[in-house]
Amino acid sequence: MREAISQGLREALEQDPRVFIMGEDVGAYGGAYAVTKGFLTRYGPKRVRDAPIAESVIVGSGVGAAMGGLHPVVEIMTINFSLLAMDQIVNHAAKIRYMSGGQVQVPLIIRTVTGGGAGLAATHSQSLEGWYASVPGLKVVFPTTPYDALGLLRTCFKEKNPIIYCEHALLYGVRGQVPDDYYDVPIGQAEVKRPGEHVSLIAYGRAVHIALQAAQELASKGVQAEVVDLRSLRPLDTEALVASVKRTHRAVVIEEAWETGGFGAYIAYLLHRQAFDDLDGPVVHLGGADVPMPYARNLERQAIPDAARVVATVRENFGL
């Protein structure tokens, strides 16, 4: 995954002189997760800009640069730190194109790391992508494989709207096939990662890998679970989700974010509204525990859904 994202950034820097990268430790240090390692030497300080620890300034500068005709890639080290730039993201980046009647565009990509499980405690392990997915004017993508990471990033560089590009902290080492030939992945198109007929497991981010593990365990018990990867939270591919439920007649929506107010609860609402007659039971929302993320590893594991909890949820709610 790390190499796929890095490749997408290199392509953009080499093909478009308007593209530059800005953020904390993106240059000399090579990125907090080594995605931009070697970039400063290769592209120079005008294209790869180390920024101070001031997220509001980083994003605000990115918005201004995008309005001025450049195509910035702003890296916010973790989505937790984006709270310091909430005004610039929600009130400026997301609204300027609309408020200018389309006269001013903001082609800004905000790369940020999200999710828990890395033992980084309460203020560094939150999953806030659902918050941004509720904001009109923003697009939110969340790749779970190297193929999707590169394909979605290529599409992001074609966009004229601000995009939150989410990278889960524990997925950088995930391996997968990436074709040598050019391809891209449309924003707003979910993908069935594993077909099934008994229950739909709908997820995004690292939860997709948890759903795949659960599906494998369920298969050993004769239950064929379909795993649907959102890939994009906004726009959301509701059509694909409804189609899956019409095949399986049951659904569990899985995410790391807190259950209260979770984005998965909104998906459950949409499925109840648009596929009610096809459901054999209520859609179940399985989210993270409603607690600040614990630092202790044993407690942290209990705060995030795992494959065993997914399997238990399917069996308890649907008798499968």
In a domain, 179, yes or no: no
Q: Which residues pair with 76 in a beta bridge?
A: 112
Contact 141, 98 (CB under 8 A): no
Residue 34: its pLDDT value, please? 96
What pLDDT, on a 0 to 100 scale, did the predictor assign at position 38? 97
d(CA 187, CA 235): 7
Q: Considering the domain boundaries, does residue 126 fall inside one?
A: yes
Q: Of the residues 168, 202, 231, which one is the last residue of a structural domain?
A: 168
The neighbour count for residue 16, using CB atoms within 10 Å, is 12
Are 149 and 184 within 8 A, CB to CB? no
Identify whether residues 195 and 55 lie together within a single domain: no
* Domains: count for the chain: 2
Task: Give the model's pLDDT for residue 24.
Answer: 97
Structure tokens, 241: 């989700």
Q: Are residues 258 and 110 in the same domain?
A: no
Q: Could you tell me if residue 184 is inside a domain?
A: no
pLDDT value of residue 62: 98
Say what the pLDDT of residue 251 is.
98
Asked whether residue 132 falls in the same domain as residue 218, the answer is no
| pLDDT (0 to 100) of residue 216 | 98
Tell whether 150 and 210 lie within a shared domain: no
The verdict on 96 and 195 lying in the same domain is no
DSSP string, 27-66: STT--TTSTTTTHHHHH-TTTEEE--S-HHHHHHHHHHHH
pLDDT value at residue 294: 96
Distance between CA 298 and CA 238 in Å, rounded? Answer: 36
Question: Based on the domain organization, do 153 and 80 belong to the same domain?
Answer: yes
Statement to judge: residues 108 and 206 lie in one domain: no
Q: How far is CA 308 from CA 87, 141, 317, in A?
A: 39, 27, 14
Question: Could you identify the residue written with the tokens 């939270």?
Answer: 233
- Examine the domain organization and report whether 19 and 117 are in the same domain: yes
Domain region containing 42: 2-168
Who contacts 276 (Cβ-Cβ below 8 Å, separation ≥6)?
Answer: none
Q: What is the CATH number of the domain that holds 145?
A: 3.40.50.970
The phi, psi pair for 27, rounded to 5°, reads: -95, -90
Catalytic machinery residues = 55, 124
Question: Cβ neighbours of residue 185 under 8 Å, at least 6 residues apart?
Answer: 143, 147, 148, 151, 152, 154, 155, 231
d(Cα 52, Cα 186) in Å, to the nearest integer? 34
Q: Confirm whether 173 is domain-assigned.
A: no
Instruction: Say if 177 falls within a structural domain.
Output: no
pLDDT per residue as tens, the chain (320 positions): 999 999 999 999 999 999 999 999 999 999 999 999 999 999 999 999 999 999 999 999 999 999 999 999 999 999 999 999 999 999 999 999 999 999 999 999 999 999 999 999 999 999 999 999 999 999 999 999 999 999 999 999 999 999 999 999 999 999 999 999 999 999 999 999 999 999 999 999 999 999 999 999 999 999 999 999 999 999 999 999 999 999 999 999 999 999 999 999 999 999 999 999 999 999 999 999 999 999 999 999 999 999 999 999 999 999 99
Give me the pLDDT at residue 235, please: 98
Cα distance between residue 199 and residue 280, in whole Å: 10
